[in-house]
Every structure is written in C-alpha cells, then in structure tokens.
C-alpha cells in the first residue's frame, strides 16, 4: 500500500484543549492531528509556542486548524489570528464555514481570507454543509472557483456530501487542485427527516469510523486526488459514551481506522 497522511480531527475529541488533543492523539498512535482554535478561550498569545513544541516533541504535524466561521457583518480580526496561529504551528490549512446569507459577501470575505492565508503560507479551505449558508458542493464551488485564489480550497466531508444530496460522481467534475485535504467518516446513508435539528445532531453525534456505516467511502476516495491527507472527523455520541477518556477514544479510533484501510487495500496511513 502507498501511504497517506491520516489525521485525527479536533472534533473527534471535542472536550480536549489543543495540548490535550496532541497528547491524546500521540498516545493513541496518530502522527497527525487537527486543532480547535477559539481565540481568548482555549487559545492565547502563548498557546502557539506550546502547541508547536508539543508537536515537535512527538514528531507530529497539524493538518488543520478550525473553525473560522463567517457570520453576517464585517470582517472578524480573530479570523486573521487563527490563520496566523495555524501557520505558526505548521498547519496545512484553516477550515472555513459561512453563515453569511449573501453569497457575494461570503465571496468577498473568503477572498480576503485567501489573501491572508497566502501571506502566512497556509490554505484557506471552505467547507459546505447543509446547516450553513454554503450548503452544497455547488455552493462552495461557486465561491472558490470565482475567487480562484491559489491558497483557496474545498473541503469534502462524506456526511455533508450525502446530506446535501451529493454523490461521489460529483467530485469528479472538480479540479483536483481545490482539494488540499478531505475529511473522512462513516454514517447512515439517509436520515429519517431532513430538518435543521436532525442534520445538526447527525453531524455532531451520528458519525462513526469507516466501515461502520453506509456511506460510499471507497467511491469517494476514488474521486479525490490520490494520497491527499484525510482528517478523521468522528464526532460521535456513541464513541464519547464508549470511551469517555479522550486518550482511550483516540486509541480506539486509531485501531479501527487503520483496520479499515488495511482491509480495503486503499492508500494506507503514516
């Protein structure tokens, strides 16, 4: 098998602060992780230095920092801080979502974030999900492709692709340059009802590791650029209840994720 970067997404251990996220990921076997950044809450002026030191101590890298959430109104200076901190700790990308109902305003603010990301040497990656105003792959493409910035990108999440009515075939129409990395998880193929509340609950509580659900994961991987990093976004009530301890959860997620990649003989992990 060839190797690819597999990262434990910050949302998989939502109760962990950035340093605990690194320690739990490393102890569980992960060589890459994601980081949740909330300025002046879980992240302060000295946090980036501590995070960088912890990553170096464990020989790890950060795939992404999240989440930059575009809300209606003017540009939020904290968004620039998140991008700068992401670059400081060596993250590849900053994850962006938008609740701005005006697509043109989202485009302008996303373009500004791309420009900032370029200065910091990081990618500004826009994620679509039905509970935001960038609801579908088509919505995200309209913004990212119009901005057409080399530091931009699209983030694919199998859950959001399914809930927005998308399919693996839709990914084949996207220029591979817009996929710097992707999220990965499994889940139900359909929900009993497509309300905001049900979709939100599914996104934060209903995920599982690859192979434990019904999503077309092999087909999705086949349409993405070979070997791109995958961020394991396993926000799951079942996993939180099964492993209340974040160290044990990180280890369990690692074991089952690695088993799926071995069983399917798709690009393996490093």
pLDDT per residue as tens digits for the range 114-137: 999 999 999 999 999 999 999 999
CA-CA distance, 76 to 121, in Å (whole number)? 20
pLDDT value, residue 3: 74
Where does the pLDDT of residue 265 fall: very low under 50, low under 70, confident under 90, or very high at 90 and above? low
pLDDT at 1 over 70: no
Contacts of residue 56, Cβ cutoff 8 Å, sequence gap at least 6:
none
The backbone region for 40, taken as left when phi is positive above 0, alpha when psi lies in -120 to 50, beta otherwise, is left
pLDDT value, residue 266: 59
pLDDT value, residue 124: 98
Locus of tokens 């913004």: 143
* Sheet architecture: strand order including 230-232: 152-155, 123-127, 93-98, 61-70, 32-36, 6-8, 230-232, 182-184
CA-CA distance, 131 to 67, in Å (whole number)? 15
Contact (CB, 8 A) for 64 and 231: yes
Q: Which residue has the higher pLDDT, 263 or 15?
A: 15
Distance between start and end Cα atoms, the chain:
11
Span of 27-36, 59-68, 219-228, 260-269 with lowest mean pLDDT: 260-269
Alpha-helical regions (H) of 15-167: 18-28, 47-58, 77-88, 103-120, 137-147, 158-163
pLDDT per residue as tens digits for the range 140-197: 999 999 999 999 999 999 999 999 999 999 999 999 999 999 999 999 999 989 999 9
Q: What is the dihedral of CA 12, 16, 19, 22, to 10 degrees?
A: -30
pLDDT value, residue 245: 98
Whether the link from the prior residue into 67 is cis, omega within 30° of 0, is: yes
Cα angle 122, 153, 223; round to 5: 125
pLDDT value, residue 268: 46
pLDDT value, residue 264: 83
Where does the pLDDT of residue 270 fall: very low under 50, low under 70, confident under 90, or very high at 90 and above? very low
pLDDT at 229 over 70: yes
The chain-wide mean pLDDT, for the chain, equals: 95
What's the structural domain count of the chain?
1
Query: What CATH number is given to the structural domain containing 210?
Result: 3.20.20.150
Where does the pLDDT of residue 2 fall: very low under 50, low under 70, confident under 90, or very high at 90 and above? very low
Q: Express as a percent the part of the chain with pLDDT over 90.
A: 93
| Structural domain range at position 42 | 3-269
Kindly calculate the radius of gyration of the chain based on its CA atoms and give it in whole angstroms: 17
């Amino acid at each position: 098998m060839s190797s690819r970067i597999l990262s434990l997404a910050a949302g998989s251990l939502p109760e962990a602060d950035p340093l605990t996220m690194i320690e739990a990921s490393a102890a569980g076997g992960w060589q890459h992780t994601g980081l949740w950044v909330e300025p002046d809450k879980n992240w302060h002026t000295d946090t980036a230095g501590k995070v960088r030191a912890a990553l170096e101590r464990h020989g790890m890298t950060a795939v992404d920092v999240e989440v930059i959430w575009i809300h209606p109104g003017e540009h939020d200076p904290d968004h620039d801080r998140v991008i700068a901190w992401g670059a400081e700790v060596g993250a590849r990308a900053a994850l962006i979502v938008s609740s701005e109902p005006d697509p043109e305003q989202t485009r302008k603010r996303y373009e500004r974030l791309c420009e900032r990301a370029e200065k910091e040497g990081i990618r500004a990656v826009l994620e679509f999900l039905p509970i935001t105003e960038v609801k579908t792959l088509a919505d995200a493409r309209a913004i990212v492709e119009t901005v057409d910035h080399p530091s931009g990108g699209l983030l694919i999440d199998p859950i959001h692709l399914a809930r927005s009515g998308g399919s693996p075939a839709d990914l084949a129409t996207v220029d591979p340059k817009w996929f710097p990395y992707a999220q990965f998880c499994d889940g139900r193929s359909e929900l009993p009802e497509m309300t905001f509340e049900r979709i939100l609950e599914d996104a934060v509580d209903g995920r599982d590791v690859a192979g434990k659900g019904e999503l077309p994961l092999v087909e999705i991987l086949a349409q993405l650029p070979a070997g791109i990093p995958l961020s394991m976004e396993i926000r799951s009530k079942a996993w939180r209840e099964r492993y209340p301890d974040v160290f044990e959860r990180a280890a369990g997620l690692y074991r089952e994720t690695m088993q799926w990649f071995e069983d399917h003989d798709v690009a393996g992990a490093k």
